[in-house]
Structure 1
Amino acid sequence: MSGDRPPTSIAAWKPHVPGIAEVFHAHFTDHAYPVHTHDTWDLMILDDGSVDFALDRHRHGATGTASVLLLPPGIPHDGRTVTASGFRKRNLYLDVSVLPQRLAGRAADAPVIDDGLLRHRIHQLHAALVHTDDGFEAESRLAFIRERLHSRLDALRPRAPGREANRLASELRELLDSRIRAGMSLHAAAAVLHAHPTHLIRCFKQTYGLPPHAYLTGKRIDRARRLLLDGHRPAEVAATVGFHDQAHLHRHFTRHVGTTPARYKAVSTVTRTTSPDADRPTHTG
């Protein structure tokens, strides 16, 4: 990173609001997310700068404060900075009680939403979320956001069945989901599914856009984020989610999230103050 670039900073916490798994605010100057998936919906607004990302192997871009980005669960995506100044963003990770999984295909076809009212409502929700005693307001604002997102997604044409329904890929994904901590060797999975190992990898990558090992790592990172937000120590988290040791967790977590597990845990425990922008809890890297 060059000396004149502004520092990277993040804030992350788990609010007591049903449907919101995590709030994540960040300013990245040179971070690039690897291809990964989430169990949750990623609802994002930009406060400054530009971001470039691929979703389901199609590239998209967003600039400035006009757009809303909605990345669905289970569909691979990446992300990277575009300019030297990077970008500032605010994310809400929403579970399927807010938006059902069945809408993921429609969302993947149109992840950048040009809707000023929706963006304003998301901004208002973030402002409410920095006050731990404003849970009722936050729930109310989330209800209006959910209604508007449902309306937009329901108006889109459903995606036709295709490679996502590939039987082998789906069965391998189920195996991996059931063994996130313990993991599974490729040859063991191939034996269970009665398929050649390389054919299994090709089917999975064609269907989900990333190889099985990258999918499993992303699932472990998602689980690690939740545990760190709940106050668990990185060493404990590493063993719980299936990494070999804390160093193994550290390497993959930093690559995926843009900060270390220890820093991520630290900023999530800082008491939030009244301002969602100037005074929110941050860590500067």
Structure 2
Amino acid sequence: MTSARDINQRFLRPAHLPWAELRSTQLSRQAYKRHQHAALSIGAIIEGETCCVCEGQEYRLRPGDIIVIPPHVAHSCNPVASQPRSYHMLYLDVSWCLAQFAPATSLLTIDQPVIRDTGLFARYQEIVALMDAPPSPLLASRLTSLFQALPLIPAPPSRAHYASQQLSDHLLSNLHKPLALDVLANTFALRKETLIRLFRQDTGLTPGAFLNIARIEYAKSRLRAGEDIADVSYQSGFADQSHFHKTFVSYTAATPRQYARGRSISDNN
């Protein structure tokens, strides 16, 4: 079986545009666990097919397709029949995205996440080329133009159950602590099973998956800042570096070292 280390992919982060990141992946069979991003995710399929499950709907994505996944929406995008696929994923910081609306909004949604538009796909490919080239003043305007062309809908924040909101706040504030659901459920005067069900209804994730994703997102921010992988592993709440590495790969299909370096996973140094 192909290891995540052998996947040919790169992470591109323009220093002058800290709110944008691009992942380019070639011929990967690697699957992901169900996850979410704090950023707006815009994917483009270049080769092969991908099965994406988002908001309870399954989409079959083919070359030329674009998929838009709003921030904090649980999803998975995996290969079809274990066949390789190539794709780009563009991540735009949610604060930047929300500021593009006048007046600024607090939540982004979309009715139809799959876009089949050759013109928009060509604009996406232009952005990929610009991000892979020396810094260009065109990049910011092209990113803004692409964002404005997406059928995103500004909306007020959704109302989560009180216990779900309190639990998510607790998990985000206590990344280092083990998940003690029995204790937390007792705090909310709920059965553990009820707390898990309510949380999954509101987030699309179990509390355990939510905590792992929060830890990984924190780790990614520290790796982008140039911190040592061993230190990041500890800071993110993992028991050891092996557990950190395994969890990181399962949610990102990238190793921590490759994400930190922002270059091809085929380089295993």
The normalised TM-score by structure 1 is 0.81
Q: Which amino acid aligns with 1:133?
A: P
What corresponds to 1:22 in structure 2?
Answer: 21
Given that 1:37 and 1:219 are in contact with CA atoms closer than 8 Å, whether structure 2 keeps it comes out as no
Asked whether the 8 Å contact 2:32–2:252 carries over to 1, the reply is yes
Question: Equivalent pairs: percent with the same residue?
Answer: 26
Q: Distance in 1 between matches of 2:213 and 2:206?
A: 11
Deviations 1:34-72 (A, max 9, x none): 11111111111111111001112221111012x211111
Give the Cα separation in 1 of the matches to 2:177 and 2:20: 24
Q: Which amino acid aligns with 1:247?
A: S
In the alignment, structure 1 segments of 5+ residues that lack a partner are: 269-280
Distance 1:159 1:110, change over 3 A: farther
- 1:55 matches 2:54: yes
> Which residue pairs with 1:217 in the alignment?
212
Residue 115 of structure 1, CA deviation: 2.4
Letter in 2 for 1:129: M
Determine the structure 1 residue equivalent to 2:126: 124
**1:32 is paired with a residue of what secondary structure?**
coil
What's the offset of the Cα at 1:262? 2.0
Residue in structure 2 matched with residue 73 of structure 1 by the alignment:
71
Please tell me whether the aligned partners of residues 38 and 72 of structure 2 are also in contact (alpha carbons under 8 angstroms): yes
Q: How many residues align?
A: 258
Distance in 1, matches of 2:190 and 2:133, equals 52
Q: Is residue 36 from structure 1 mapped to residue 35 from structure 2 by the alignment?
A: yes
The reply on whether 1:226 has 2:221 as its aligned counterpart is: yes
Counterpart AA for 1:213: G
Tell me whether 1:284 sits opposite 2:269 in the alignment: no
**In the alignment, is the contact (CA less than 8 A) between 1:22 and 1:94 conserved in 2?**
yes
Paired residue for 1:87?
85
SS in 2 for 1:218: helix
1:1-285, aligned counterparts within 5 Å?
1=1, 8-18=7-17, 20-65=19-64, 67-100=65-98, 102-104=106-108, 106-107=109-110, 109-134=111-136, 136-149=137-150, 152-154=151-153, 165-182=160-177, 184-266=179-261, 268=262, 281-284=263-266
User: SS of 1:283's equivalent?
Assistant: coil
Gap change, CA 1:17 and 1:282, over 3 Å in 2: same
Contact 2:14 2:135 in 1 (8 A): no
Q: Please say which of residues 226-235 and 184-193 is displaced more in the overlay.
A: 184-193
Tell me the distance in 1 between the aligned counterparts of 2:156 and 2:75: 18
Match of 2:102 in 1: none
Q: Mark the runs of 5 or more structure 2 residues left unpaired by the alignment.
A: 99-104
